[in-house]
Structures are given as structure tokens and as C-alpha cells.
Amino acid sequence: MIKTPYQQLEDRWRKMDALAGAQSMLHWDMSAMMPSGGAESRAEQLATLATLSHAMITDPAVPDLLDGAEADPHLNPWQLANVREMRRAWVHGAAVDADLVESLSRACSACETVWRNARADNDFATVLPKLSEVLNLSRQMAAAKADKLGLEPYDALLDQYEPDGRAAAIEPVFADLKSFLPDFLQDVLAAQAAGPRIEPLTGPFPAAQQKALGQTFMAALGFDFAHGRLDESLHPFCGGTQDDVRLTTRYDEANFAPALMGVLHETGHALYEQGLPKAWRGQPVGQARGMSLHESQSLLIEMQACRSREFLQYAQPLLCEAFGGSGPAWSVDNLARLYTRVERGFIRVDADEVTYPAHVILRFELEKAAIAGDLQMQDLPGAWNDGLEALLGIRPPTDREGCLQDIHWFDGAWGYFPTYTLGAMTAAQLFAKAKQDVPAILPGIATGDFAPLLAWLRTHVHEQGCLLSTKDLLKQATNEPLNAKHFTAHLKARYLPL
């Protein structure tokens, strides 16, 4: 039987999805398990897979198949959306030649390997040549995609992570946050200083207990351990495939909060992946919509749900049991003060909700300048330190607490950072609507029953895949376009209650 153009495209994308899954697993292994001696062969493996994937999507037959599929009158809405996403992927892929794809893959693998030691040793100079090479190749990719897409170079990179995302739309939103946050931060810090004293929790907190507790919370949230696992890495992340989701965190036996919050954050990502429409596995319409929506799912779980007082009512006895806690320091009131404590800090992944947007705005501004050619990598440490001081009034004492802290640029992810704060805004808007639609959500969280929340997210976000654009999905789920009012209202209610 002769297959239609659409059926041929589905077959092709199914194979490309398998290659992408293999790449993701190799990246996870490189971060969580691979011995240092495997770096060279791993770079070769990843470069080969990237080249094969690129060859499949840039095959001269693809444009004609896309034209044929788009003209097919028998496709249903999901299939039409699938063709739309195929076309989008083809435009991105065809814009870049195979040699550049391979060179960038090799450069990113090499740079990430050097970064691991450079970060630990606080040695930016060691990784500078590799980072400069990654940036140079990323700028070449940005230029090639910009020409094909008719966009500015930075927008061409942003579009990879946030379909239809544009810097011009993000800049005024971030400008509003920059004007709102300084005074708000001062008010929050003053209110906390005038409030009850926060009693510190004293360790040690063994990593084994931290991991077991994290897995308990993952299970309560709805994570399916038959299709995923939790491991340890230098930088927390969620990877793997929809049927085999890999989470990582990092442990500090003097403070269990960062690892726990990291697990909750990555579980939000994982729930999204596990909840994507099974009927569309291996097809672009069955993938996550984009990174702002992906970040909304992690931040909704970590920040909206699991820093709430209701969550602490559920978690408090489990924390006490895991770490032998007792006394006033382990009361729900004190834990609430601890988990909503606001302070100026250097590390993005450990930042509270109030200061977190400043970390993202800094990276957004720096990566825009770097892609435009206005910032050279040898000047990155100073520009980073100056920017953080301007935004938060603190200056990193070392590059390990400054420009070496995040893996993204060293692994080639330029244009990614704004999605974090767009995700925070989206999370607040979705959670507000979910609570309005399902009054059982907050009482459920207080008893460890996350089923009402997960069911709402499954219906309105996860199972939608890429059927709709991000804008249309949010409008359908919340009855309004994305705006900052829910995020700022949430911050005010949590940190400056009347």
C-alpha cells in the first residue's frame, strides 16, 4: 500500500524522535553517571546522532511531503497541528548546514566537560576558550536561522525554545518587573525583619534520607516510577524521554531545602512529560508546547503548590520523621517562614520567588548582548557581577557564584533564560484558575492528595501537547491572555499579607 505524504512524514518523525530520545539519554548519563574518561567518545556519539537527525529533517524529500500533507483534505485537527509543528521543525533544521550542527554538538560536549571542573575550581579562564567557541558557533547558527525565519538573531534562538517568542514582547514585561521588584523587595525584607525570628534547622541531613523523602513527595505528586527515576548531578535537571523521565538533584547535608525544592521543581517538569498525549508519542504534536509552559509546570509545583502553607501542613510530619526533627524550629509556622524567606543571593536555582526574576533578567540581558556581538566572553565575569549588583545590590565573591553557576551557555542553550520568568507568570495564572475551578485543590494538598491538581493540569495543559499555540492554550485554560497581574498578586499575598 502506498503511504500518503502525511503517513510518510509520521514515519520519518517517529525515527527522529527515537534518535532524539537516545541523545537525551546520553546527555543524562554524561551528567549523572559517565566517568570523566568517557567524554571524548560521548562527544563523538552525540555529534553522530545530531548529524543523523539533521540529515533526516533536511532530506530534499521533506518539503514536498509537507506540501502534500498540508493539501490533504482528510486530516483531523491533531494531524493538521502535527504537520504545522513538522513544518516549523523543518524550517529550523533546514536553515543550518550539517557541518555547523556537528561542530556545535562537539563544541558543546567539550565545553560542558571542561565547565564541570572549572566550576568546581572557580577557574573561568580554563573554560573561556571553549565557551567562546560555543558562542561563536551559536552566533553562526543564530544568523543562519534568522535569515531563514526573517527574525533577529536572538529571536531565532529564542524561537527554538519558545515558539513565536520575541525579545521585543519580553522586554517591556521585564522592564515592568524591574520597576516593581526593588521597592517590593525592600518592603518584604522590612516586613520579615519586623516579624517573628526564624529558627534555623540544624543538621546534618543525610543525603540518603533526603533522597528517600524526595521520592515520597514525587510519588504523592503523581510521578510514575515505572517510567522514570531520580539521580544526582552537578546541576538539577529533567531529561530522558516521555516514557523514561530522568530527574536529578544535588544534595547538601547541611541544608536539605535546595535538594528538596530541586526535586519538586524537576517533578513538575516530569509530570508534564509523563502526561503528554500517549496517542501522539513520537510525533511533534505530542511534545511539550514550549519552555515557558514547561517552566510553568515546574514552578507551579515547586512555588505555587509546594511552598504553600497547605503543603507544609502535609509535609511537616514527614520532615520531622525523616530528620528526627522536634521543637519550635520544626513547627509549621517556622517552616513557613523558612520556605518563604526572601534574601538577596547569588545562586539562581536557590533563589526565592521575589528575587528570582532578577536573576533571569540579568541572563536575558547578557545573552542578548553576547549574541549581538556586544559582549565578549572574556568580559562576561565583570558584566555579570556589575549586572547582579545593579539588580540586587550584591556582588558575587567568585565566578563559581557568578557566571560559572549555570550549565546553559556552556552547553549551547542561548535564548533559553527568559522562559523561566515567563513560566513563573504562567504558573501563577494557571494555578489561580485551577483553584477557582476546583476548590478541592488546596484542601487536597494539605493532606498530600495532589490528584485534583494533577487532573486539572492533565486536562488543560499536559494532554493538549502541541495542539494549540502557547497563547491559545493559556487563553483556553484561563480565559485570558498571559499577564503579570496573577504573578504580582501572588507575590503580594504570600510575602506581604494584609
Positive or negative torsion for Cα 377, 379, 385, 390: negative
Of 85, 266, 365, 367, catalytic? 266
Query: Do 423 and 296 form a contact (C-beta atoms < 8 A)?
Result: yes
For residue 370, give the H/E element and its range. Answer: helix 356-372
CA 289, CA 461: separation in Å to the nearest integer? Answer: 9
Burial call 334-352: b when 16+ CB within 10 Å, e when fewer: bbbbbbbebebbbebbbbb
Cβ-Cβ contacts under 8 Å for 86 (sequence gap 6 or more) = 9, 13, 66, 69, 284
CA 415, CA 366: separation in Å to the nearest integer? Answer: 10
Burial call 403-427: b when 16+ CB within 10 Å, e when fewer: bbbbbebbbbbbbbbbbbbbbbbbb
Torsion of CA 308, 355, 483, 449, to 10 degrees: -20
SS (H, E, C) 242-309: CCEEEEEECCCCCCCHHHHHHHHHHHHHHHHHHHCCHHHCCCHHHCCCCHHHHHHHHHHHHHHHCCCH
Residue written as grid cell 524529500: 61
Cβ-Cβ contacts under 8 Å for 444 (sequence gap 6 or more) = 450, 451, 452, 453
CA-based nearest residue to 215, from 175, 274, 263, 255: 263
Cβ-Cβ contacts under 8 Å for 488 (sequence gap 6 or more) = 180
10 carries an active-site annotation: no
For residue 456, give the DSSP letter: H
- In the Cβ-directed half-sphere of 151, how many Cα atoms lie within 13 Å? 24
Q: What is the set of active-site residues? A: 266
